[in-house]
Amino acid sequence: MKLNRRQALALSAGAAVAVVAGLRTAPASAAVEDTQKRIMEFTGGKTPEAGKLTLTAPEIAENGNTVPISVNVESAMTGDDMVDSVIIFAEGNPNPEVATFHFTAMSGSASATTRMRLAKTQNVIAVAKMADGSVYMDKKEVKVTIGGCGG
């Protein structure tokens, strides 16, 4: 079959629509559900609230292979006001787990920074577990850009 230019364009436009439609329906993905399941495992079935925990991540990552992220939980880090751990998920990665930070009274504060990999634009989620069992969550969307030639 030989296509003329107009037919070829129409076909490629159709293909593009199909691709976009495919992407639109994709996000009900296994990874997102998996992340929800793992959050519940971490919290022991409690739904985390907003507040106390702040996740800092760039709105746009220049390179998905190295994205700086920080977490900070408001806490005196003494007595009952203590943070046990903070877990990080990337719900669009092949495996959503990223890291779990464990804090102690000697941490002085519940804050930590690291650098992580993001396979594509997605939500990064942090969940904090306090010593008293309460749980908090924060979420940031990080756009992962596609480099030109990458200079």
Site of interaction with another protein (CB under 8 A): 5-6, 9, 12, 58, 60-63, 65-68, 70, 77, 90, 93-95, 97-109, 111-118, 145-151
Of residues 29 and 49, the one with the C-beta less far from another protein: 29
Q: How far is the CB of 122 from another protein (least distance, A)?
A: 11
**Which of 141, 118, 138, 113 has its CA nearest to residue 128?**
138
3-state secondary structure of 46: coil
Q: How far is the CB of 66 from another protein (least distance, A)?
A: 3
Of residues 27 and 66, the one with the C-beta less far from another protein: 66
Instruction: Please give the single-letter amino acid code of residue 66.
Output: T
Of residues 25 and 78, the one with the C-beta less far from another protein: 78
In the chain, the N- to C-terminal Cα span, in Å, equals 42
Q: How far is the CB of 43 from another protein (least distance, A)?
A: 16
**Which of 34, 78, 53, 70 has its CA nearest to residue 129?**
53
Identify the helix (H) or strand (E) that includes residue 40: helix 30-43
Of residues 49 and 109, the one with the C-beta less far from another protein: 109
Burial of 85 (0-12, 13-18, 19+ CB in 10 A): middle
Q: How far is the CB of 37 from another protein (least distance, A)?
A: 16
DSSP 8-state code for residue 2: -
